[in-house]
Structure 1
Amino acid sequence: MAPDLVVPVRQGPVNEQLRYALRSWAAHLPHRHVWLIGYRPAWAQRVRHIPTVQTGTKYQNTTQAVRAVCEHPDVSDPFILMNDDFFVMQEQPDGVPVLHRGPVRQVEAYYATRGQGRYLRGLRETRDLLVSLGHEDPLSYELHVPLTVHKKGMLHALDVGRHLDVIHKRTAYGVLNGIGGEQIEDVKVLWRAPRFPSGPFLSTMPDAFAHGAVGTHIRRAFPQPCPYETGRRR
């Protein structure tokens, strides 16, 4: 059985990134069902939906969403964890590969140059937690690419990090479950740059998607509506 695709969705009626993400999944990633966790736009059809209350920070909301998925009996085990701005640009007939970003210490050094924020604090607290559990040089799985998740393993990671305000869920899951994988650079396109990654996966910031070359590339790749949407909006 092909796994389900699971995507936490923030509140907002339009979400064109999700629209084109769904088109890319329908075209290139074998799956059984698509589950939207949190909010479901009115235009989304033939998807399954788990509503959640989104009253916390975005980190708390997504953690709540992932826990809800893992506790739902109808979601496949394993499932593939997505974001609403993940685009699959090439066919993945054998499922998604296991990928990581390299040691957390290297990722920390990168984010430290961009200021001190809640995300960086969560990275450090997650790293310290993993080190305290015997993982001396943990890998980071905070990539903007699909991740195959086994429910029991993710629930264990969420329980271990329950006291953290911003747990890096993917990293905790990957390290505590020893999933290994291949190191790549992140595929997130932050700016309206003329160049962007050419591999099987892309992810965008809203402005880069709406106004950058990468957004034009994605829209041209998937011009037709997929079964998960209504209407003919392009």
Structure 2
Amino acid sequence: MDLVVPVRTGAVNQQLRYALRSWAAHLPHRRVWVIGCRPPWLQDVRYLATPQDGTKYVNTTRAVAAACRNKGISDPFVLLNDDFFTMQPLPDGVPVLHRGPVAEVEAYYATRGNGAYLRGLRETRDLLVRLGHDDPVSYELHVPLVVHKEGMLHALDVGRRLSVLHKRTAYGNLAGIGGEQVTDCKILWRGPQFPTDGPFLSTMPDAFTNGMVGAHIRRAFPRPCRYERGGGR
């Protein structure tokens, strides 16, 4: 399968550099597709430009839709973010994982405010309930997700009127992909409390740059990969 990663405009994006190293080492694939913005240090990747004039939610939805409509991208493909790190080989392929009932995830985010993300979670949940999914589960994890194009395009169409569609969750429930419940691997802090025995990690920019988790990831992948200019082959 191809790897598809939406990339925002702006920074040098060192997280993407080390994410690519981790994928090159541990995530078998055919090609890497970067959608949105292409950092100048990249090489040997396929690039698909998409508009970057919306919110981050709108921009990533555009990127996923563009990937699904592009005939050159494998079907299915693996959807990633530029801050997803594959820390171990995946001998059985990319696992199907979810975060548990949306109701439980909503309770967690309700303690952190009432922003656009939480509003989108609730709107996506209400949409799924109206469509007969009485107790939907959340797929908003910071881990790779195998995406079948027809199913994702259907989810994006069903949720097109939502300002912040939780597209992974809409896709996972509407397509009935099932999976195993896990705790999210996103690390928000600088300190040493993070798992080192799982296959995936994800970081906030500050945690990657200044935290112990970032140092751990950089130690794990010290060598450039074939997707970096001057990198190995």
Place the TM-score, normalised by the shorter chain, in its bin.
Answer: over 0.9
Q: Deviations over 1:89-120 (max 9, x none)?
A: 00013321000000000000000000010000
Aligned positions of 1:48-197 closer than 5 A = 48-197=46-195
Cα deviation 1:78-98 (Å, max 9, x = unaligned): 000000000000001332100
Quote the residue 2:228 is aligned against.
229
8 Å CA contact 1:29, 1:93 repeated in 2: no
Residues matched between the structures, number: 230
In structure 1, runs of 5+ residues without a counterpart are: none
- What SS does the aligned partner of 1:77 have? coil
The structural deviation recorded for 1:195 is 1.7
The equivalent residue for 2:200 is: 201
Amino acid at match of 2:74: S
Do the aligned residues in 2 keep the contact of 1:30 with 1:93 (CA within 8 Å)?
Answer: no
Alignment map for 1:27-42 (pairs within 5 Å): 27-42=25-40
Measure the CA separation in 2 of the matches of 1:88 and 1:12: 24
Letter in 1 for 2:13: N
SS in structure 2 at match of 1:162 = coil
How well do the aligned residues superpose, as a CA RMSD in angstroms?
0.8
- Give the letter aligned to residue 163 of structure 2: D
User: How many Å separate the matches in 1 of 2:70 and 2:128?
Assistant: 27
In 1: Cα distance, 2:109 partner to 2:11 partner: 31
Separation in 1, partners of 2:101, 2:170: 13
Query: For 1:93, what is the secondary structure of its paired residue?
Result: coil
In the alignment, what sits opposite 1:4?
A: 2
Where does structure 2 lack aligned partners over 5 or more consecutive residues?
none
Could you report, residue by residue, the CA deviation over 1:163-210 in whole angstroms, capped at 9, with x for unpaired residues? 000000000000000000000000000111212122000000000000
**Paired letter, 2:200:** F
- The CA deviation string for residues 118-164 of structure 1, in whole angstroms up to 9 with x for no partner, is 00000000000000000000000000000000000000000000000
Check the 8 A contact 1:87/1:202 in 2, yes or no: yes
Structure 1: which 4+ aligned runs deviate by more than 3 Å? Answer: none
Task: Give, in angstroms, the shift of residue 13 of structure 1.
Answer: 4.6
Give TM-score scaled by structure 2 length.
0.97
Deviates more, 1:202-211 or 1:8-17: 8-17
Corresponding position: 1:215 with 2:205 = no
**For residue 218 of structure 1, what is the amino acid of its counterpart?**
I
Return the TM-score normalized by structure 1: 0.97
Q: Matches of 1:170 and 1:228 in 2, distance apart?
A: 26
- What is the percentage of aligned positions where both structures have the same residue? 75
- How far the C-alpha of 1:62 sits from its partner, in A, is 0.2
